[in-house]
Structure 1
Amino acid sequence: MKKRTFLSSEKETLPLKKAEKATAPLPLKVSKDLKPLGKTCQTRIENESTITILKTLVKVIKHQVMSLSGLRDTIQQLRDEIAQ
């Protein structure tokens, strides 16, 4: 599949592919007084949603790691009891 090169003005009007969305830089802070600016505003809303999802995933992963850590401690205690 041949890759098509776009002019810089074309790129702004074309919808982003999934891979491009994943690598697009995320804004650090989005002002609350945004007026609808078409694609720019939509992209910022999508980025905010992505950030929220990622934060939730981080919380879930931290919880899973703590659970696994507790499980490891329990297994170690059981091994110690069996060894005695």
Structure 2
Amino acid sequence: MARCIETGRTGFYLRVLEEGEVFPCEIVKEGANLSAPSVREIHELRFHRKSDVAGMERAVAEPALSMVVHILFKKRLLDLNQGTG
């Protein structure tokens, strides 16, 4: 895990929106938001830029963000606003 955090290579690159089969050479892009934070940016905010308020606010505004990370960032933002983070 430490190596994944250090390198930023998390292995999380896709989110399954609907279960099903994907065949070779198919490109499946569902509602891509090119202005949304990247996987790398979310990783950096989670493990390295823990006080980046603007970055976390941008991330929690993204509907595709996983609920687990959304809750983590919301809690961090609350703690930072209260001076406990």
Asked which structure has the greater RCO (Cα within 8 Å, sep 6+), the reply is 2
> Quick check: TM above 0.5?
no
Q: Which of 1 and 2 has greater Rg? A: 1
- TM value normalised by structure 1: 0.32
- TM value normalised by structure 2: 0.31
